[in-house]
Amino acid sequence: MSDDRTIYLDGNAAAGPLSEVFAVDLTTAVAGCDRCGAVAAVAAARVYADAPGMVVRCASCEAVLLRVVEAPERMWLEMRGIAFLQVPVLPASPP
């Protein structure tokens, strides 16, 4: 099953740390890769979780989209690989 490639997970795996920061589920958001221009759901990106933090890479060109590191009392989020995010906006709730 496993070969020389580093094992990666889906973008889903980053949902926990990202939920600390974003009011919407960022894994269902669409991200544009700043390097190659590919546009895809964050959930479809590749997550490498073996580093001290999580590294989320573009599934098309492997460029780093974002990195997140969690410590007990703070976390760091770097997103310069993402050119834009598109998030769903829901209609108004019924009263």
Residue 51 gets which letter from DSSP? Answer: S
Q: How far is CA 21 from the centre of its chain?
A: 12
In the complex, minimum distance from the CB of residue 84 to other proteins, in angstroms, rounded to a whole number: 19
Pick from 50, 72, 48, 71: nearest CA to 58: 48
Nearer to other proteins, 22 or 83 (CB): 22
Footprint of other proteins (CB under 8 A): 1-3, 7-16, 18-21, 23-25, 27-28, 41, 43-44, 47-51, 54, 70, 72, 90, 93
In the complex, minimum distance from the CB of residue 45 to other proteins, in angstroms, rounded to a whole number: 11
In the complex, minimum distance from the CB of residue 13 to other proteins, in angstroms, rounded to a whole number: 4
| Phi, psi angles (nearest 5°) of residue 3 | -130, -150
